[in-house]
Amino acid sequence: MYIWIKALHVIFMVTWFAGLFYLPRLYVYHAMPEHKSSFELFKVMERRLYIMMTLGMGLTLLFGVIMLLQGNGILLKSGWFHAKLLFLALLFAYHYACYKIMIQFRHDKNTREHKWYRWFNEAPSLLLILIVILAIVKPF
């Protein structure tokens, strides 16, 4: 059963990251004044994508906790797992930051330029690399 739970965990992680990669890209375009005619469409797309990625996050978390419980807490004794939890905390904070930005755009209160969002868009890539290396390589 563990391997099925793990497969579901990975499937919903991919769903979550799809949103984490694409939503900030929408913010890049939404912050560009030349796309002003599409701002209302961006608002709808951002809201729908945020819902999808939040479902992915919740199910990733659910299946991760189930795996943790099935392992009788053995993972909690591993240093790599503690590091992974730290990066996951940063990822949850990034997810929340995406929500706050979406609300700013919804109320037409964005104050940042598209270049800032291009840099903001890179964070989940770095976190994905670190989390996957920790989970697969288990370096410590």
Could you list the residues known to form a binding site, using ranges. 9, 84
The per-residue pLDDT for range 104-114, each reduced to its tens digit, is 999 999 999 99
Tally of structural domains, the chain? 1
Give the rounded distance of the alpha carbon of 51 from its chain centre. 12
The per-residue pLDDT for range 5-36, each reduced to its tens digit, is 999 999 999 999 999 999 999 999 999 999 99
pLDDT at 71: 87
Name the residue range of residue 107's domain.
2-137
The pLDDT mean for the chain works out to 97
pLDDT at 51: 98
pLDDT at 72: 78
47 near 106, Cβ under 8 Å?
Answer: yes
Crossing angle (nearest 10°) for helices 39-70 and 79-106: 160
Task: Band the pLDDT of 73: cuts 50, 70, 90.
Answer: confident
Query: What are the CA-CA distances from residue 26 to residues 2, 57, 104 (Å)?
Result: 36, 19, 13
Beta strands of the chain (E only): which ranges?
A: none
Could you list the residues known to form a binding site for heme, using ranges. 9, 84
Half-sphere exposure of 84 (CA within 13 A, CB side): 19
